[in-house]
Amino acid sequence: LSKDLLPGPYRRTPEERAAAAKKYNMRVEDYQTYPDDGFGYGDYPKLPDKSLHERDPWYQWDQQDMRHNWGEPMHWDFDMYIRNRVDTSPTPVPWHIMRKHFLIFLSTMLIMFGLGGIYPTYRPVGPKQYPFNDLYLERGGDPNKDPPVVVHYEI
Amino acid sequence: MEITLLLNTSMLLTLTIILTPTLLPLLSKTYRNSPTTITRTVKAAFLTSLVPMSLFTYCNTESITSSWEWKFITNFKIPLSFKMDQYSMMFFPIALFVTWSILQFATWYMAMEPHITKFFSYLLMFLIAMLTLTIANNMFLLFIGWEGVGIMSFLLIGWWHGRAEANTAALQAVLYNRIGDIGLILNMAWLASTTNSWEIQLSHSPQTPILPLLGLILAATGKSAQFGLHPWLPAAMEGPTPVSALLHSSTMVVAGIFLLIRTHPILTTNQTALTTCLCLGALSTLFAAICALTQNDIKKIIAFSTSSQLGLMMVTIGLDLPQLAFLHISTHAFFKAMLFLCSGSIIHCLGGEQDIRKMGGLQKTLPTTTSCLTIGNLALMGTPFLAGFYSKDLIIENLNTSYVNTWALLLTLLATTFTATYSLRMTLLVQTGSTRIPTLTPMNENNPMASNPITRLATGSILAGLLISSIIPPTKTPPMTMPITTKTTAIIITILGIILALELSSMTHTLTQPKQGTYSNFSSTLGYFNPLTHRSSSTKLLNNGQQIAQNLIDSSWYKKMGPEGLADLQQTTAKITTTLHSGLIKTYLGSFALSILITALLTH
């Protein structure tokens, strides 16, 4: 590769930008760059952040698994946008509706679990029915008086 | 004495038989493995494993064997110890029976595969890891088995590695399992630091802190696909059907539940942990059942059904009933593996078609397979006296008669209804009605390698529940008395689910439903969980990784900390000192005065 085919520094004049666009096999209108803020992007094109999932699966690409043709400029973060990683294809349901419905579901579940913990279900229980009038004499009742009838059940 | 010797010997013999196909090719120059030899090995191991099981059943023999210790640190023992109690001795024959049937089926299903022996070796490796996990008495050996099944799951899901979706699914499986492993390692660290051993033992303290138990629950969430770490299980259907039948229905996914069963003594002490298990299981079972209602891929429906039953097992753990959870694992293995094998048979006969909207009327053309599919679905729904009934009905009875979270109870009952609904939907669309398959589809059930495993598992689905529950006595008193409504709750809500399914199917024949609605969208896109979590977390992580690697490391360490930083510092100091070298007398007088002032102040 000769020096003029390699990526270079940030291009300032329109002629340099046109030459860089031609170097990257792009049209001048499509050629956008990263801002020149010292992070080393240079004149590398800023391609739209679209993953390879969005490219046509049925078209006969030169590299079918990467869905990429020879000579096409690759995204700076191409390893993020391959088919095993991030998928940016449009979802059938808009993002904000998805997020809203999921959070409604999750919050409803958590609140109801909290309520279910405050009001649990259990088999009906009642106080224990002891014999001998609920142990009246054993609990220090007066043997001369009639014991009160205490019944903890219903028939 | 000799009974224990017989037990230990036969168990070790089972394990050795399983290891033979890995060792024999190394010892002999001419021996090569083949699918038939591996199938026969597993069959022999199954027959051998019946010996320890019968010893346990009739003589109540249990044993813990410790041999060879890894002398790594002098005061921390890591022995190679095997625990042969009711769980491992009952699980061995069941796992080996199911694996034998699946391997026999796979000799037909994967017959066109060029690397079929490697496939069978992978399945055997998986089986070895799973049995290691089952029989382990310490966390170290269990962890070896745990990681082993995770890795084999990755390799087997991505078996057709030329397919990008299979690779993504395999990656999902391994990453979600890894998140669960964090919890397991946390628990192991706590055990090692507190009890100075990794043996699975009874707890001595009345209360275990919540943190290691949360670690265990996280491990089970990852491995058993509970809500939160669940997306990998439906994605794992990218693998071949024998893989789905073995790993993702009967054996691997129950490893998380099995871990909770094994460590149950320490889990019992903490009521918060049990409540967490209960609520998590209830949420998982309902969420998976909701998602299964609108799926159109037959394997995905069965995958969500598995996920739902795993949630039910987690609910059982939360009810403090590990033995019942194990019973459900055992019965579930039979009918779920059979459902997957039937679906595999149907898929192959239709030439790779997995969409139930393109199947129909298969009862006439594939009678055995569809009958077994019906038996499997009935067992799954908990039809009285089939396999699923003995475990599922008991779980629902215990749930109704315990002191539980009301919402967890309601969710589990609702999920049971939905189980009946989606099972019946699958049955109706696949087997009955008018046929929607392409006209020239030659299909047959002639090959015994395909139909024998299915019928064998069908026999198991019918008899296993009765057999297993009659030979294992329960350790806790089951609820004996309850009102009739409570006793018949499971069957009533199942019938309600069936009525719901029949009503919906008659609605689809007469009325037109809108293509998209709020609830059908939620269900068919699996609760929006997948896009929301996968896209947002991976974009953030990868972008941040790129920023760190490029900007932080490159510009900060190589520039700011290196040459450019030094140059900046030097420039600053140079600028300051040049103001002093201006050549004006005033500046020099000022510096004299400043130094005299400082000296006077210092010496004062």
The DSSP result for B304-358, as a single string, is HHHHHHHHHHHHHHHTT-HHHHHHHHHHHHHHHHHHHHHHHHHHHHTTS--BGGG
Largest CA distance in chain A: 120
Tell me the β-bridge partners of A63. A68
Please list every residue in chain B whose beta carbon sits closer than 8 Å to the beta carbon of residue A99: 528, 532
Residue B513 has, within 13 A of its CA and on its CB side, a CA count of 12
Query: Under an 8 A CB cutoff, do A115 and B406 touch?
Result: yes
In tens, the pLDDT along B18-34 reads 999 999 999 998 988 99
pLDDT higher than threshold 80 for residue B512? no
Tell me the β-bridge partners of B66. B81
Size of interface A-B (CB pairs under 8 A): 90
Examine the domain organization and report whether A95 and A75 are in the same domain. no
Q: Which of B226, B274, B276, B405 to mutate to test the interface with A (most CBs of A within 10 A)?
A: B405
Please list every residue in chain A whose beta carbon sits closer than 8 Å to the beta carbon of residue B402: 122
Cα-to-chain-centroid distance, residue A100: 12
Cα–Cα distance for residue pair B489/B492, rounded to 1 Å: 5
- The two tokens of residue B12 are 């070790």
Cα–Cα distance for residue pair B200/B143, rounded to 1 Å: 12
Query: Under an 8 A CB cutoff, do A39 and B521 touch?
Result: no
Q: Look at residue B466 and give its three-state secondary structure.
A: helix
Cα–Cα distance for residue pair A146/B60, rounded to 1 Å: 58
Are the C-beta atoms of residues B335 and B402 closer than 8 Å to each other? no
Q: Which residues of B touch A (CB under 8 A)?
A: 164-165, 167-168, 171, 275, 279, 283, 400-410, 482, 516, 518, 521-522, 525, 527-529, 531-532, 534-535, 538-539, 542-543, 546, 550-551, 554-555
End-to-end CA gap in chain B: 94
Q: Cβ-count burial of B436 within 10 angstroms (0-12 exposed, 13-18 middle, 19+ buried)?
A: middle
Dihedral angle computed from the Cα positions of residues B281, B286, B288 and B293, in that order, rounded to the nearest 10 degrees: 160
Go through chain A and tell me how many residues it has: 155
Selecting from B167, B401, B528 the residue whose C-beta is nearest the C-beta of A84 gives B167
- Give percent of chain B above pLDDT 90: 67
In tens, the pLDDT along B432-471 reads 988 899 888 888 888 999 999 999 999 999 999 999 998 8
Examine the domain organization and report whether A76 and A107 are in the same domain. no
Over range B148-162, report the average pLDDT: 94
Are the C-beta atoms of residues B310 and B257 closer than 8 Å to each other? yes
Please list every residue in chain B whose beta carbon sits closer than 8 Å to the beta carbon of residue A98: 525, 528, 531-532
pLDDT at site B513: 75
Phi first, then psi, for residue A25 (nearest 5°) are 60, 40
- The DSSP output letter for A151 is -
The CA R_g of chain A, rounded to the nearest whole Å, is 38
Are the C-beta atoms of residues B8 and B63 closer than 8 Å to each other? yes
ipTM: 0.88
Cα distances (Å, whole numbers) of residue B570 to A111, B554, B574: 61, 21, 6
B286 Cβ neighbours under 8 A, 6+ residues apart: B308, B311, B411, B412, B414, B415, B418
The CA R_g of chain B, rounded to the nearest whole Å, is 30
Examine the domain organization and report whether A67 and A96 are in the same domain. no
Q: Which residues of A touch B (CB under 8 A)?
A: 38-40, 65, 77, 80, 83-88, 91-93, 98-99, 101-102, 105, 109, 112-113, 115-117, 119-123
- The two tokens of residue A127 are 């106080």
Closest CA relative to residue B504, chosen from B411, B428, B596: B428
pLDDT band at B480 (very low <50, low <70, confident <90, very high): confident
In tens, the pLDDT along B364-419 reads 999 999 999 999 999 999 999 888 899 999 999 999 999 999 999 999 999 999 99
pLDDT at site B1: 66
- The two tokens of residue B107 are 């000799």
A74 Cβ neighbours under 8 A, 6+ residues apart: A47, A68
In tens, the pLDDT along B93-144 reads 999 999 999 999 999 999 999 999 999 999 999 999 999 999 999 899 999 9
Q: Which parts of chain A sit beneath pLDDT 70?
A: none
Continuous H helices in B362-488: 362-365, 367-381, 387-400, 406-431, 448-471, 484-487
- Give percent of chain B above pLDDT 70: 100
The larger pLDDT score, comparing residue B197 to residue B110, is at B110
pLDDT at site B64: 86
Are the C-beta atoms of residues B95 and B251 closer than 8 Å to each other? yes
Query: Under an 8 A CB cutoff, do B551 and A87 touch?
Result: no
Query: Under an 8 A CB cutoff, do A121 and B409 touch?
Result: yes
Identify whether A148 is part of a domain. no
Give me the number of domains chain A comprises: 3
Query: Under an 8 A CB cutoff, do A80 and B546 touch?
Result: yes
Examine the domain organization and report whether A84 and A53 are in the same domain. yes
Please list every residue in chain B whose beta carbon sits closer than 8 Å to the beta carbon of residue A88: 535
DSSP B7-21: HHHHHHHHHHHHHHH
pLDDT band at B231 (very low <50, low <70, confident <90, very high): very high
- The two tokens of residue B358 are 């393109």
Please list every residue in chain A whose beta carbon sits closer than 8 Å to the beta carbon of residue B534: 87
Please list every residue in chain B whose beta carbon sits closer than 8 Å to the beta carbon of residue A83: 164-165, 168
pLDDT band at B560 (very low <50, low <70, confident <90, very high): confident
Q: Look at residue B386 and give its three-state secondary structure.
A: coil
Identify whether A143 is part of a domain. no
**Average pLDDT of the residues of chain B:** 91
pLDDT at site B43: 96
> Taking the model in full, what pTM does it have?
0.90
Examine the domain organization and report whether A65 and A42 are in the same domain. no
Over range B513-519, report the average pLDDT: 82
Query: Under an 8 A CB cutoff, do A87 and B408 touch?
Result: no
Dihedral angle computed from the Cα positions of residues B362, B363, B364 and B368, in that order, rounded to the nearest 10 degrees: 110
Residue A107: domain span: 91-123
Are the C-beta atoms of residues B475 and B323 closer than 8 Å to each other? yes
Query: Under an 8 A CB cutoff, do A86 and B535 touch?
Result: yes
Selecting from B531, B535, B550 the residue whose C-beta is nearest the C-beta of A39 gives B550
Identify whether A71 is part of a domain. yes
Cα–Cα distance for residue pair B390/B405, rounded to 1 Å: 24
CA distance B499 to chain A (A): 26
Neighbours of A103 (CB within 10 A): 12
Over range B483-508, report the average pLDDT: 92
Query: Under an 8 A CB cutoff, do B167 and A39 touch?
Result: no
B516 Cβ neighbours under 8 A, 6+ residues apart: A92
pLDDT higher than threshold 90 for residue B197? no
Selecting from A80, A86, A98 the residue whose C-beta is nearest the C-beta of B528 gives A98
Query: Under an 8 A CB cutoff, do B532 and A105 touch?
Result: no
pLDDT at site A13: 93
In tens, the pLDDT along B128-138 reads 999 999 999 98
Closest CA relative to residue B319, chosen from B409, B245, B259: B409
